Amino acid sequence: MPAPSRIALVTGAGGAFGSAIARRLGNDGFTVVVTDAAVERAAAVCATIPRSVPLHMDVSDDHSVTTAMAKVHETLGGLDVVVNNAGIAPTGGMTTTALADFDRTMAINLRGAFVVSSAAMPHLLKSTAARVIMIGSRTWLSGGNPAYTASKAGVVGLCRTMAQELGETGGTCNVVAPGPVDTSFVDAMGMGGERVANFARYARMTPMRRVATPEDVANATAFFASADASFITGEVLHVAGGLQLAPRL
């Protein structure tokens, strides 16, 4: 009789990163809980993953998170992997970022990761191989929009706290920190310039002379979710082709 598949939950899984991560984990044999604030987007992703469940979850709404976690427990009985991928990125600098945008970014990117991870802890502490993966950003090193950068720096600190608490039962927590990825999410960050020229500039700055793809992010996430990463915790893996180094001009 085959062993039951491990269960992974991905937040914000209707977008480019989240859907790529959900599909990769599905291909690796996980049962995937595909969550998104727009459940119809989650359902569309589930159509491409054999063992998957679409679920509404707005990470900025505590009730939505606890309701979703109760549903996971009711239908699947547990949880082994959480991928905190849901995120937004406003435009602007220190004097032009609206306070409302700052607060909403923190509510989704950082507070949301805390609320989801905290709600998942009772399940994770019962798992024989708990994994939490935070989707961060290279901007925690380089700076950028103040709200986005602060939220992603905060995710690193949150990860290291979770690594301490999960370690006692053999669980891990790590951060995947992409550089610029060729997606509409990066477009919406308003980094200036015409799109093609903008991404060409990113590629020139990167030692590997290209930008990341959602699949690059998914591959790194799958590594942290796997048994191969069972003794790696509290780490930040930059998926940036070397752009986390001093930029190549």
Q: 202 catalytic, yes or no?
A: no
Q: Residue 89 to residues 56, 102, 174: CA-CA distances in angstroms?
A: 21, 9, 21
Place of tokens 């950028």: 144
Question: Whole-angstrom Cα distance, residue 8 to residue 132?
Answer: 9
Question: Whole-angstrom Cα distance, residue 198 to residue 193?
Answer: 6
Considering the candidates 148, 199, 202, 224, report the single residue annotated as catalytic: 148
φ/ψ of residue 21, rounded to 5: -65, -45
Dihedral angle at the C-alpha atoms of 102, 217, 175, 156, nearest 10 degrees?
-20
> Residues 57, 64: contact at Cβ < 8 Å?
yes
* Token couple for 110: 């950082």
Q: In what order do the strands lie in the sheet with 172-178?
A: 52-56, 31-36, 7-10, 81-84, 131-135, 172-178, 236-239
Catalytic residues: 148
